[in-house]
Structure 1
C-alpha cells in the first residue's frame, strides 16, 4: 500500500494514521465528519479533519484516481478554478480501489445547499450563468470536462455573486485546443445533466414553482455561446477609434471575470482588427494587486471591491493631509484602520458564516444602504455594528470552515 501526496508535506503527514487498508465505507465514524448538504456522488465519498484542515476522500478505480490526481495538480499550477488535490492511496489490500484526497474548498456550497437555504436568494439562472463561466474558462484552457454538472461543481460567494469550481475530473481530457465539435458535445452533456438535476430539485420541492427545469437547462447552450463569442470574437473598427475601443473591450472582459494576455492589432483596409488572447488563470489582476498591497488572499470580485475601498480611503487621506499619500502607505493604514477592525469585530458566535472578505463587502453594502437612508455617510464602524446586529445573524451557519467542522478535534 502506498500513499502519495503533494507539498506541503505537513498536510499529507497528518493523514497517515487513517485506516487506509479498510474500505472507505467501513471507516470508524470517529475519524470522519458529516458535511451538510453536500452534492450527489456515484462513488463512496467521506470527509475527515486532521490538524485543523478538512479533506474529502473519494474511493475510485486506481487508473481514474491517478488520472484525476495528475489533472487536478496541473489545474492548481495553472490557476484554473478547481479543487486542490493533496494525494492518492494506491495498491490497497485485497484489490481495493484507490482513494483520492482533495482539500475541502472553504466557504463552498453545493447547488442543493444553495436552493435549500431559507433565504433562497440564488436563482437557477444565476447558478447556470456561473456554471457557464466555469465551462468557458475550462474550454479556453483546452479542457474537455465530459461530465459538467451542478453536482460536480462547488460554488463560493464572491462579493455578492457566485464563483464556480470544478470538483470531479475523472472524465476530463486535456487538449492543446478544443474543436467546435468537442465544445458543443461538452455543452450538450452539461445541458442533459443540469436538466436532470433541476428535475430532482423540483421533485424535492426545492425549486421555485415558476421555474421549468427543462426550459432552464435548454437555455444553457445559448448562454454558453453568447459568453464564448464575447470572450473570443475579433473586432474591426476605424483607426481613430483604436484607443477607446481597445480599452472598452478589455474592461468588458475584466468585468466578465477573465484576464487579458496578449493584445494584437492588425491594420486592414477596413480599419483595425483587434484580437485578444483571453486568459482564464486565477488569481486575476485584482487578486494579485490586493495581495501585493495587503497580503490578503480573497476572490476576484471581492478583491476589486476592497481595492476600490482602498482607493477611496487614499483619496480621503490626501484630502485630509493636503498632500499626496503613497499607495503602500494608504494600503497599510486601510488594512489596520478599516479592514481589520471590521473583521476583528465579528461576534464569535457568528464567525465562520461567511468569509471575512465577504463580510467586509456586505458591510460596505450595508453602509451604502444606511447612508442613503440617512442622507449622509454613516461610517464603516456604525455600519458594521448594524450589520452584525441585523443582517449577519440571518445568514445560516454553513459549516464550511475547518474550525466549524473540527470543533476542537484533531
Structure 2
C-alpha cells in the first residue's frame, strides 16, 4: 500500500487500510472479493468484504469520486433512497509508484438486487412494470427536492422487494446535480426522456438475448414510466380549484397523498375575492407516510408498501379484538408482541437471510390468504407459518447476500403465487407455537 494513500470517510473503518489499494481493482485477489450480482456500469465496480460487511468499490477519477461521494451524502441527508457512501480513496499507486484510479466506496444495500437479477429465465411483463413504476416514484422524489439525475436507468438503480411491489434506490449519482431553486419543466422532461430511452434500450437488450417474455413490449413499458411519473407528479404538485362550500376537498387531497405514501408539510390555500372559490396546491411533500407511522408505533423500519401492509394487519387486529378505542401505541405494542415478533422468531435461523422480516411477514399473510381460499377455511397462523417456511421461504435464494460470479449478473428465481392478495388479514392472529 502506498504511503501517500488518502482516505476520506465520515465514519472511518480501520479495515479500509487492509485492502490492496496498491493493485488495480480488476487484479484484487479472490479472498477480498464478495461475489454479488451487479448491474451494468461504465466504470469497473467490484464488491469486497470489509469488517464483516460487504462494500461496493468503483474506480473512477479523483474529481468524480469526491463529487459523487458528496452528492450521495447530501441525498442521504435529504432522506432520498440511495446507497450509503462510505469513503473516497485517492492518491493510489502501485508498487512501482505508477498512479492508479481513485475509488468511491459505498456500502452494499442489503436485500437489494440489480434489475437483471430479479428474474430467472425470462422477465415477465408484470415484473418489468413494477420495476418501472418503482423507478418513476424514485424519479419524482428526486425531482421534488430539485435533483437532476442525468442518467436515469434501471442499471443505475437497485431494487428491494416491497410487499408485492419494489422500492427503488439510486446507485449512480455521478451525473446528478442538485438545484436549490428546484427544476424547470424542461429539466424534468429531459430526465424523463433519458429514462424512457434508457429503459427501452435495456429491455431491448434483454429481448435480443431471449431473456424477456414474448408478451413484453420494451417500447410500451418504457413509455409507462412517463405516464406513471406524470400522474404522480400531478398529484403531488398540481393545484385544484373548487367552491368554498366544498372545503372537505382539502382533507380529501391530503388523504389521497397519504394513501400514496406522502405527507404534506406545507399547503398553499388561496381564496378569490368574496371567498367563493378556493385554490389549493401542495408546496412541500415528504415521502414515507406509512413508514413513519409504523416506526412511531412499533419501532419497525420497513419499506413504504411493507409498512402499509403491516399497518393494515395492525388495524385489523385492533378491530377484531375491539381495541379501536384504545391507545394506538398500546395496541401496536400488543400486536408486535403477539403477532409480528412470534412470526419472525418462528423463522429458522438458517433462513433469516432470505428476505427482510417485514417482507417475510407480508408474504406470510399472502400465503395464508391463498391457503384459506384453497381450503375454504380460516387457516391458523401457526399452520400458515409452517407451510410458508417449508414450501416457499426454504426454496428462495438469500437476498441479503446473493452469491454468484463476481463479474457477471446472476439470476434469481421469483416465487409468485397467483395474483396479489387483498390487503386484509385472515381471521386468527394467535400463534399456537
Q: What TM-score does the superposition give when structure 1 sets the normalisation length?
A: 0.89
Are the aligned partners of 1:155 and 1:163 in contact in 2 as well (CA < 8 Å)? yes
- TM-superposed CA distance for 1:168, in Å, is 0.1
Structure 2 residue 136 is matched with structure 1 residue 146: no
Q: Show the counterpart of 1:161.
A: 165
Provide Cα deviations, 1:300-327, integer angstroms capped at 9, x if missing partner: 11112212222332344446xxx96433
Distance 1:219 1:331, change over 3 A: closer
Higher relative contact order structure (alpha carbons within 8 Å, sequence separation ≥ 6): 2
Q: Show the counterpart of 1:114.
A: 118
Are the aligned partners of 1:80 and 1:280 in contact in 2 as well (CA < 8 Å)? no
Q: Show the counterpart of 1:285.
A: 289
Structure 2 residue 250 is matched with structure 1 residue 249: no
Q: Show the counterpart of 1:96.
A: 100
Q: Show the counterpart of 1:135.
A: 139
Aligned residue runs from structure 1 range 24-39, under 5 A: 24-36=25-37, 38-39=38-39
Are the aligned partners of 1:115 and 1:122 in contact in 2 as well (CA < 8 Å)? no
C-alpha distance in 2, partners of 1:290/1:127?
Answer: 24
Count of matched residue positions in the alignment of Structure 1 and Structure 2 = 393
C-alpha distance in 2, partners of 1:378/1:215?
Answer: 41
C-alpha distance in 2, partners of 1:119/1:151?
Answer: 15
Distance 1:263 1:13, change over 3 A: same
Distance 1:184 1:152, change over 3 A: same
Aligned residue runs from structure 1 range 8-407, under 5 A: 9=12, 12-36=13-37, 38-93=38-93, 94-116=98-120, 120=124, 122-176=126-180, 177-243=182-248, 245-268=249-272, 271-281=277-287, 284-318=288-322, 325-395=326-396, 397-401=397-401
- TM-superposed CA distance for 1:17, in Å, is 1.0
Are the aligned partners of 2:261 and 2:290 in contact in 1 as well (CA < 8 Å)? no
C-alpha distance in 2, partners of 1:103/1:373?
Answer: 43
Are the aligned partners of 1:232 and 1:276 in contact in 2 as well (CA < 8 Å)? yes
| More off after superposition, 202-211 vs 346-355 | 346-355
| More off after superposition, 208-217 vs 45-54 | 208-217
User: Tell me, which stretches of 5 or more residues in structure 1 are unaligned?
Assistant: 406-410
C-alpha distance in 2, partners of 1:97/1:240?
Answer: 65
Are the aligned partners of 2:125 and 2:213 in contact in 1 as well (CA < 8 Å)? no
Are the aligned partners of 2:36 and 2:401 in contact in 1 as well (CA < 8 Å)? no
User: SS at the partner of 2:106?
Assistant: strand
User: SS at the partner of 1:272?
Assistant: strand
Provide Cα deviations, 1:324-375, integer angstroms capped at 9, x if missing partner: 6433332222222211111111134433221111010111122233334455
Are the aligned partners of 2:82 and 2:170 in contact in 1 as well (CA < 8 Å)? yes
User: SS at the partner of 1:263?
Assistant: strand
Distance 1:121 1:100, change over 3 A: same
Distance 1:401 1:291, change over 3 A: farther
Distance 1:104 1:160, change over 3 A: same
User: SS at the partner of 1:123?
Assistant: helix
Alpha-carbon RMSD across the aligned residues, in angstroms, is: 2.3
C-alpha distance in 2, partners of 1:121/1:362?
Answer: 21
C-alpha distance in 2, partners of 1:108/1:194?
Answer: 19
- TM-superposed CA distance for 1:178, in Å, is 0.5
User: SS at the partner of 1:148?
Assistant: coil
Are the aligned partners of 1:266 and 1:272 in contact in 2 as well (CA < 8 Å)? yes
Distance 1:125 1:318, change over 3 A: closer
Distance 1:120 1:347, change over 3 A: farther
Are the aligned partners of 2:355 and 2:399 in contact in 1 as well (CA < 8 Å)? no
Are the aligned partners of 2:59 and 2:102 in contact in 1 as well (CA < 8 Å)? yes
Provide Cα deviations, 1:37-93, integer angstroms capped at 9, x if missing partner: x21111111111223211111011011111100010011111001111111101212
Distance 1:6 1:163, change over 3 A: same
Q: Show the counterpart of 1:6.
A: 10
| More off after superposition, 59-68 vs 16-25 | 16-25
Are the aligned partners of 2:125 and 2:216 in contact in 1 as well (CA < 8 Å)? no
Distance 1:298 1:117, change over 3 A: farther
